[in-house]
Amino acid sequence: QVQLVESGGGLVQAGGSLRLSCAASGRTFSNYAMGWFRQAPGKERQFVAAIVWSTGSTVYTDSVKGRFTISRDNAKNTVYLQMNSLKPEDTAVYYCAIRPGPFTSPVGPYDYWGQGTQVTVSS
């Protein structure tokens, strides 16, 4: 089993910043990616960003490029999502997830999910 625990969500004004954290524990994998997804009310869950753990390679959805940064801390088995210049349309529940390898793309699909953390951006 894999446990993923997100933290760092909250309420912020437009233009502000938040940093989300996701700590992983339990089963380990030799090759995997960790990703962030979000789901706004009434909308489907959307891919935000992912990082390949072994190489540090990252990928982002177009709407967050230049504003969000995904990073990892190997020692803490933790992935972060630094979110800057937040917009009201970034409001959503943010989930982290793990995709065990092998894979050709870190975008998806993902097998293990956290419980989510709410991010609300006020205008």
The answer to whether residue 107 scores a pLDDT higher than 90 is no
Q: Tell me the mean pLDDT in the region 81-105.
A: 95
The answer to whether residue 117 scores a pLDDT higher than 90 is yes
User: What are the CA-CA distances from residue 8 to residues 28, 30, 32 (Å)?
Assistant: 24, 27, 23
Task: Measure the CA–CA gap between 93 and 7, rounded to whole angstroms.
Answer: 11
Buried b vs exposed e over 19-49: b needs ≥16 C-beta within 10 Å? Answer: ebbbbbeeeebeebbbbbbbeeeeeeeebbb
Each residue's pLDDT tens digit, 46-92: 999 999 999 999 999 999 999 999 999 989 999 999 999 999 999 99
Strand partners, 71: 80
